């Protein structure tokens, strides 16, 4: 007999998705660090150095995704989520102990570890409290909460700067929110089923990449996360470079992007009910590519904001579409593929690194946009390649 959904237990789990969104603060943070701490460096190295912040954060997904799955089998899902919260709280206080470039890298490396653990464990934990036909809508609600967190980051930073005296106070604010999430989850009883079967290994997960379709989709995850983090990282810098905005005002660039990404995720559920996922994928990524081409040339502030909105709206559902396609292609390996796809979030480290190199080489954020555009072009290729395989 199927157990009923426990809404009282679901709420603290859903609130955990807000904490999951903290990783997206890397966009405004890298812009502030470039302005605050890297002035002594030569201009040709500043973007490369500041982009190391998302690099160290998203590198953790490559290293810790599979080990987290193994750990979760041993200590349970709830304890794994609580562990991620503890690491998040520690990470949030490091910039206050010493605001240096090195300490910033340490803080975001820890945040990357915490976010990896959270992303691997929070969705499975939700399945323990939400049952039956309510699960899909609850997972969508979780992603919506995460999007709200990402969208609100620049506003919290602006509040910290104007009311508290420094944008850096966003970190203790996040620490307090994480602490509240931790207390709420600890106080909520959640029953977990015992794990059956052997734990996933690195070799077992990587072996799935021999399937050409899975490899195509895995790289799709890598590049869609790269586009997402790339826009988040570069949007403020583009506004500062082309429109003369200060770092605080330029921080609204990521907010526009995340606002439209949130809207796209909300409306995507309705569109996908009427259109095939492959067709929806093709149309959206084609529009995103055209918008990114335009971003290379435009310099008007309003036009730049409009482009951020278009890219955010069209890229919003690409990750879940690719993820769903991968699971459906090999349902017998659903658990292994899930771990593999989360490992692909490492694209958030690879793409910003090359963005920084290109920007410093060209002496302009045009270099960053070119790298993002190249990533989107791969996604366009994936959309049409999957379409051919589906026929």
Least confident interval from 148-152, 209-213, 217-221: 148-152
pLDDT at position 52 is 80
pLDDT at position 373 is 96
Query: Got the DSSP string for 317-380?
Result: THHHHHHHHHHHH-GGGHHHHHHHHHHGGGHHHHHHHHHHHHHHHHTSTHHHHHHHHHHHHHHH
Confidence band (pLDDT; 50, 70, 90) for 264?
Answer: confident
pLDDT at position 1 is 41
Give the integer Cα–Cα distance in Å for 107 and 18: 19
CA quadruple 311, 313, 315, 319: dihedral, nearest 10: 160
pLDDT at position 324 is 75
Residue 262: both structure tokens together = 């949130």
Strand ranges, E, within 125-211: none
pLDDT at position 175 is 93
Q: What percent of the chain has pLDDT over 70?
A: 86
Give the integer Cα–Cα distance in Å for 183 and 19: 13
Report the pLDDT averaged over residues 345-374.
Answer: 89
Give the integer Cα–Cα distance in Å for 113 and 58: 9
Average confidence score pLDDT of the chain:
83
| Cα–Cα–Cα angle for 289, 61, 217, rounded to 5 degrees | 45
pLDDT at position 19 is 93
Least confident interval from 7-11, 231-235, 377-381: 7-11
Give the integer Cα–Cα distance in Å for 309 and 57: 25
Whether 235 and 315 have beta carbons less than 8 Å apart is answered as no
pLDDT at position 2 is 46
Helical spans, DSSP H, in 38-100: 43-50, 52-75, 77-97
Higher pLDDT, 387 or 114: 114
Question: Is the per-residue pLDDT at 89 higher than 90?
Answer: yes
pLDDT at position 6 is 59
Whether 64 and 87 have beta carbons less than 8 Å apart is answered as no
pTM: 0.74
Q: Does CATH number 1.20.1250.20 belong to domain 7-390?
A: yes
Report the pLDDT averaged over residues 184-197.
Answer: 77
pLDDT at position 198 is 52
Identify the top-confidence range among 65-69, 105-109, 345-349: 105-109
pLDDT digits over 59-77, tens only? 888 888 878 877 877 788 8
Helix axes 7-20, 77-97, angle to 10 degrees: 40
Higher pLDDT, 146 or 50: 146
Question: Is the per-residue pLDDT at 83 higher than 50?
Answer: yes
Classify each residue of 255-268 as buried b or exposed e, where b means 16 or more C-beta atoms within 10 Å of its C-beta: bbbbbbbbbbbeeb
Give the integer Cα–Cα distance in Å for 292 and 315: 12
DSSP one-letter code for 132: T
The position carrying tokens 């977990």 is 192
- Domain coordinates in residue numbering, the chain: 7-390
Least confident interval from 76-90, 131-145, 212-226, 301-315: 131-145
pLDDT at position 268 is 77
pLDDT at position 353 is 84
Q: What region, left, alpha or beta, does residue 132 occupy, with left being phi > 0 and alpha being psi -120 to 50 degrees? A: left
The full length of the chain comes to 391
């Amino acid at each position: 007999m199927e157990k009923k959904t426990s809404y009282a237990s679901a709420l603290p789990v859903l609130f955990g998705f807000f904490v999951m969104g903290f990783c997206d603060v890397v966009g405004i943070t890298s812009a502030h660090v470039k302005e605050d701490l890297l002035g002594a460096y030569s201009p040709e190295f500043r973007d490369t150095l500041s982009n190391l912040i998302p690099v160290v954060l998203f590198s953790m997904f490559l290293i810790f995704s599979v080990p987290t799955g193994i750990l979760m089998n041993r200590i349970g899902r709830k304890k794994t989520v609580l562990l991620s919260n503890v690491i998040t709280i520690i990470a949030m206080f490091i910039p206050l102990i010493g605001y240096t470039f090195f300490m910033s890298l340490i803080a975001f490396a820890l945040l990357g570890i915490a976010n990896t653990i959270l992303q691997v464990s929070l969705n499975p934990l939700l399945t323990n409290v939400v049952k039956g036909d309510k699960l899909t809508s609850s997972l969508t609600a979780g992603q919506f909460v995460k999007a709200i967190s990402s969208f609100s980051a620049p506003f919290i930073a602006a509040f910290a700067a104007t009311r508290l005296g420094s944008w850096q106070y966003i970190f203790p604010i996040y620490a307090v929110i994480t602490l509240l999430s931790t207390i709420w989850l600890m106080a909520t009883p959640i029953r977990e089923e015992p794990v059956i079967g052997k734990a996933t290994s690195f070799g077992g997960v990587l072996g799935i990449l021999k399937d050409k379709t899975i490899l195509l989709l895995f790289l799709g995850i890598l590049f869609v996360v790269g586009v997402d983090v790339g826009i988040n990282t570069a949007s403020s810098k583009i506004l500062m470079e082309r429109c003369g905005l200060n770092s605080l005002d330029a921080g609204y660039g990521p907010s526009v992007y995340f606002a439209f990404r949130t809207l796209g995720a909300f409306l995507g559920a309705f569109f996908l009910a009427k259109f095939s996922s492959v067709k929806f994928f093709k149309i959206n990524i084609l529009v995103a590519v055209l918008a990114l081409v335009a971003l290379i040339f435009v310099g008007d502030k309003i036009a730049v904001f409009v482009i951020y909105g278009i890219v955010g709206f069209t890229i919003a559902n690409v990750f879940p579409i690719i993820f769903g396609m991968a699971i459906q292609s090999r349902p017998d390996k659903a658990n292994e593929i899930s771990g593999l796809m989360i490992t692909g979030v490492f694209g958030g480290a690879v793409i910003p690194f090359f963005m920084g190199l290109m920007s410093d080489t060209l002496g302009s954020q045009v270099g960053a946009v070119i790298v993002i555009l190249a990533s989107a072009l791969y996604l366009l290729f994936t959309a049409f390649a999957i379409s051919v395989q589906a026929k």
